[in-house]
Amino acid sequence: MYELGVVYRNIRRADAAVTGDLGRFGSATVHEAMGRVGLLQPYMRPIFSGAQVSGTAVTVLLHPGDNWMMHVVAEQIRPGDIVVAAITAPCTDGYFGDLLATSLQARGALGLVIDAGVRDVKTLKEMNFPVWSKAISSKGTIKATVGSVNIPVVCAGMLITPGDVIVADDDGVVCVPAANAEKTRDAAAAREANEGEKRAKLASGILGLDMYKMREPLEKAGLRYID
């Protein structure tokens, strides 16, 4: 359960260089590098395609239909952050539009991940401010109830602690705990090291069956070929 009505000003952010490296690998590679955990549910989709970002999470907990705390979290942003917004109950309202995006971008935020809806998506695309959300909705929100900023939140089924690394692209959104960032970066780099070679082999027509030496284990597992 959540602590309500608090703003934590000091959070320990993951290392900036490592955070940047993780973004270059993309969400699928990072997710593999962590042992296939850390992925937010796949209903979280980018509002426009092509963006690929990484940043440190500043979190905000909002109430259904109420975006008051978006203004509170704006003050806590440092350049390189990504705002992660969770709601206390399922909601598809449009919590966020071009004015808030202008404010977040001015504060140095690189994007928004929100388990609810956003609006002004045409303008957000023109501003190149990427958002991953559950919905797009014109429905506005009120400013009546306080939530919290920079507490651990559950966003799209994933627990996200302030300072964690967020990696987001067209494939989805992954959260890397700050403590695991460097280890994950190294594992991702190792994964990618020989991808070029593999791709070249596969492009030449060599089968994964042979490249990965799968024929024997498949036979052991009982696979039979029938002519």
Q: Which of residues 120-159 bind a second copy (CB under 8 A)?
A: 120-122, 135-140, 143-146, 152, 154, 157-159
Binding-site residue total for a second copy (CB under 8 A)? 100
The CB density around residue 9, as the number of other CB atoms within 10 Å, is: 8
Does position 28 bind a second copy by CB under 8 A? yes
50, 81, 1, 40: CA torsion to nearest 10: 20
Binding residue for a second copy (CB under 8 A) from 129, 132, 177, 185?
177
CB of 186 to a second copy, least distance (A): 17
Residues 180, 34: contact at Cβ < 8 Å?
yes
Binding residue for a second copy (CB under 8 A) from 16, 72, 78, 183?
72
CB of 54 to a second copy, least distance (A): 13
CB of 212 to a second copy, least distance (A): 7
Does position 74 bind a second copy by CB under 8 A? yes
Structure-token pair, residue 206: 């060599």
CB of 100 to a second copy, least distance (A): 7
Q: Which amino acid is at 49?
A: S
157 DSSP 8-state letter? T
Structure-token pair, residue 221: 């597992």
Binding residue for a second copy (CB under 8 A) from 90, 193, 194, 216?
90
Half-sphere exposure of 171 (CA within 13 A, CB side): 12
Residues in 180-209 at the binding interface with a second copy, rule: CB under 8 A = 180, 195, 198-199, 202-205, 207-209
36, 23, 20, 197: CA torsion to nearest 10: 90
Does position 15 bind a second copy by CB under 8 A? no
> What is the C-alpha to C-alpha distance for residues 46 and 173, in angstroms, rounded to an integer?
9
Binding residue for a second copy (CB under 8 A) from 5, 17, 128, 190?
5
Half-sphere exposure of 135 (CA within 13 A, CB side): 13
Does position 84 bind a second copy by CB under 8 A? no
CB of 55 to a second copy, least distance (A): 16
